Amino acid sequence: MDSRVEIDEDTENDKGSMWVLDQKLDQPMDEEAGRLKNMYREKKFSALLLLRLAFQSLGVVYGDLGTSPLYVFYNTFPSGVVDDPEDVVGALSLIIYSLTLIPLLKYVFVVCRANDNGQGGTFALYSLLCRHAKINTIPNQHRTDEELTTYVRSTFHERSFAAKTKRWLERYALRKNALLILVLVGTCMVIGDGILTPAISVLSAVGGIQVEHPQLSNEVVVIIAVIILVGLFSMQHYGTDRVGWLFAPIVLLWFLLIGGIGIYNIRKYESSVLKAFSPVHIFRYFKRRGKDGWTSLGGILLSITGTEALFADLSHFPVSAIQVAFTVVVFPCLLLAYAGQAAFIMNNKTNVVDAFYRSIPESIYWPVFLVATAAAIVASQATISATFSIIKQALALGCFPRVKVVHTSKKFLGQIYVPDINWILMILCIAVTAGFKNQSQIGNAYGTAVVIVMLVTTFLMILIMLLVWRCHWILVLIFTALSLLVECTYLFAVLFKVDQGGWVPLVIAAAFLLVMYVWHYGTVKRYEFEMHSKVSMAWVLGLGPSLGLVRVPGIGLVYTELASGVPHIFSHFITNLPAIHSVVIFVCVKYLPVYTVPEDERFLVKRIGPKNFHMFRCVARYGYKDLHKKDDDFEKKLFDSLFLFVRLESMMEGCSDSDEYSLYGQLTQQSRDGLLDNNGNSISSNLDPTISSVDSIVPVKSPLNVNNTVSSSGQGSAQTEIDELEFLNSCRDAGVVHILGNTVVRARRDSKFYRKIAINYIYAFLRKICRENSVIFNVPHESLLNVGQVFFV
């Protein structure tokens, strides 16, 4: 066995030894670390496996983008084609080049490469940036976190443009907050997509009934759509694991059908629509239509909806599979579908509203209708799943109130269900569907949400290209110019339709942004208060081994958000109660800007004070994809890490005569004359090895590899180890009590009125309705002890 031990210095209060418990078996540390890092890089797949993954990605990634032909032309020409039929060719040309520039070039071949170890979405980009610059607004990271195998980041020269960008971002807190708000805006718009996509997709698909049964009113169509939506959201708790295998065949069949129907319509009606591949027709379109052509871009924009979901749902497939699926199936089939509809509309100017269904050959109408409805449901499911995923990421990074997160699959970690969010989405989705009753207004709302998310991604990608990829500034400028040219054009177009439904995502996003920012603001202020009020180690040492109290048998797990220092809750507890447990462990559960933390690197254990105090700290680290689920193994793993720490600590002391196994690692001299202070005086005789402030990383071999000749001090350390392990086991058998702070956060009296509203009312309300920490940590009620506190921030 080969283990790595890190001795860490707490720069302020604590003194002790922190040991990174990540055991690596049968391989040297450097080779194993390299192997683990390579596991998270994109692999080269065989051609057959790549095709299979590309096929599976169709059902998860491309459902939303694939159902856009149901409603694009209707939203582009809501009043029909009243003027020149060449307007249809111009609109088709805009669709072709929008699909080429945004989904194909920008997302599939550029943005998807900016994934965080396979994870996509707004928060994945933000996490990637947080690892390359100190922009995290909650400063709870430690340098040992950077040793994680999943904490992958690039390095750059101090004089490089990337280093200058990094310093520019880190210099002022205002810039960090502005970046966070930008990320939260993008997240809120993705949540808006989760509401609007099911509404417009299902309503558009069900609307095909009216083509064959025109006597049906819009109210009946809306009722059918609402019934399907209720069923869709009600089935979310089952997850997609059981029916997910159906998604890919349905979507593949859908793409083949719309592509085939497109070819049929081009041949039957107007093959001249293919001249739309010339961008000249875009110029002519705007010249003929003027302002109407400009506002019609809101409908053209819907042809690229689902592009952001493509990036958000990236986690289950390699980028190469996404690229193959899009270039081989999705892109050509979409072009054929839009060209076929354009050919039909040029010969049927009054049938723009239901152009898709009227262009279907009569003999296959009902099969296509059924597949369209199924594809709309699959598209809605993909967007809902992406919403759950991004809520989970926001929750992990302290930007969303604590809500219940349920894993729906034992095979796939990313398949989750958030009950509270699910019902909120359902209510809002039904309200949008029943309130607007037509595709046009929902389309206007949908377009607003989509273009804002794309702009957020563009701004984040600029920083990714500078900090992470270290691209030349000319390449960054080209990417920025092309992206902003297209997206800002669409943004200005949808702003004309704010009063025609475009206000809906803005209101939804504003509500979620208020909730998320206030929650994050309160979390940061609470953390800052705890940091400033943590207890001095000198005060703890002055209490003596008994802490001035009666030490009763048992182990007390004191939960805190601090990864260093003794929290204020501890002094509050021992001030008001005359007893404390024989062993006290401060437990900090924190999330890092990585998508996952491997199990064998999860726990950091540290001793606080001398050995006879029996005080430890355990930091449990999670990534934003990990779930601190209802797991009885958590407590067991915590104690296993603690026992391993004690054994390693004793082994280090017992081998202190050896240069290779010294507690002080690189600072140990070849002779045994002792350590020297800054003045050259020996300090080894006075130094307590349990109160170390030396930073070093040293290898610790298995006792089987240690020389059989052990000094008397080594034998004494071994006996001390046995005694302490027996003591810890007896305390564990006596009982474990979980001590949590029941904190009330209030604004100070001299605070400004907006801070009082944010803290005393909004944040307090969110704290009241969100889940308790005891539920999140799965603490049994019979062993729970709440300690009340009031923080004035």
Residue type, 373: T
Task: Note whether 149 and 33 are within 8 A (CB).
Answer: yes
Task: Report the mean per-residue pLDDT for the chain.
Answer: 79
Compute the average pLDDT of residues 189-196: 88
- Of the candidates 503, 523, 499, 522, the residue with the CA atom closest to the CA atom of residue 511: 503
Does the pLDDT of residue 610 top 60, yes or no?
yes
- Of the candidates 621, 592, 590, the residue with the CA atom closest to the CA atom of residue 604: 621
Compute the average pLDDT of residues 12-17: 39
Does the pLDDT of residue 259 top 90, yes or no?
yes
Does the pLDDT of residue 674 top 50, yes or no?
no
Q: Give me the pLDDT at residue 94, please.
A: 95
Q: Give me the pLDDT at residue 711, please.
A: 42
* Range of weakest confidence among 64-68, 313-317, 618-622: 313-317
Q: Give me the pLDDT at residue 301, please.
A: 92
Q: Give me the pLDDT at residue 27, please.
A: 37
Q: Give me the pLDDT at residue 8, please.
A: 35
Q: pLDDT (tens digit, 9 = 90+) per residue, 466-484?
A: 988 888 889 999 999 999 9
Q: Give me the pLDDT at residue 776, please.
A: 66
Q: Give me the pLDDT at residue 29, please.
A: 37
Task: Note whether 740 and 779 are within 8 A (CB).
Answer: yes
pTM of structure? 0.80
Place of tokens 């520019």: 168
Compute the average pLDDT of residues 612-632: 78
Q: Give me the pLDDT at residue 244, please.
A: 67
Cα 105 off chain centre by: 24
Tell me the percentage of the chain whose pLDDT exceeds 70.
Answer: 82
Q: Give me the pLDDT at residue 82, please.
A: 65
Does the pLDDT of residue 280 top 50, yes or no?
yes
Does the pLDDT of residue 687 top 70, yes or no?
no
Q: For residue 707, what pLDDT band results from cuts at 50, 70 and 90?
A: very low
Q: How far apart are CA 122 and CA 311, in angstroms?
A: 9
Task: Note whether 563 and 594 are within 8 A (CB).
Answer: no
Task: Note whether 406 and 418 are within 8 A (CB).
Answer: yes
Q: pLDDT (tens digit, 9 = 90+) per residue, 109-129?
A: 999 888 887 788 888 899 889
More confident residue, 576 or 88: 88
- Of the candidates 466, 446, 451, the residue with the CA atom closest to the CA atom of residue 162: 466
Compute the average pLDDT of residues 183-206: 89
Does the pLDDT of residue 673 top 70, yes or no?
no
Q: What is the DSSP letter of 752?
A: -
Does the pLDDT of residue 383 top 90, yes or no?
no
Q: How far apart are CA 124 and CA 133, in angstroms?
A: 14
Compute the average pLDDT of residues 359-380: 91
Tell me the percentage of the chain whose pLDDT exceeds 90.
Answer: 23
Compute the average pLDDT of residues 600-609: 86
- Count helices and strands in the chain by DSSP H and E runs: 30, 11
* Range of weakest confidence among 87-96, 367-376, 445-454, 619-628: 619-628
SS (H, E, C) 35-92: HHHHHCCCCCCCHHHHHHHHHHHHHHHCHHHHCHHHCHHHHHCCCCCCCCCHHHHHHH
More confident residue, 672 or 431: 431
Q: What are phi and psi for residue 619, nearest 5 degrees?
A: -105, 115
Q: pLDDT (tens digit, 9 = 90+) per residue, 485-541?
A: 999 999 988 888 888 888 888 899 999 999 999 999 988 888 888 888 888 778 777
Does the pLDDT of residue 434 top 60, yes or no?
yes
Task: Note whether 133 and 155 are within 8 A (CB).
Answer: no
Does the pLDDT of residue 97 top 70, yes or no?
yes
Compute the average pLDDT of residues 743-762: 86
More confident residue, 35 or 91: 91
C-alpha distances out from residue 42 to 37, 104, 444, 756, Å: 11, 20, 38, 48
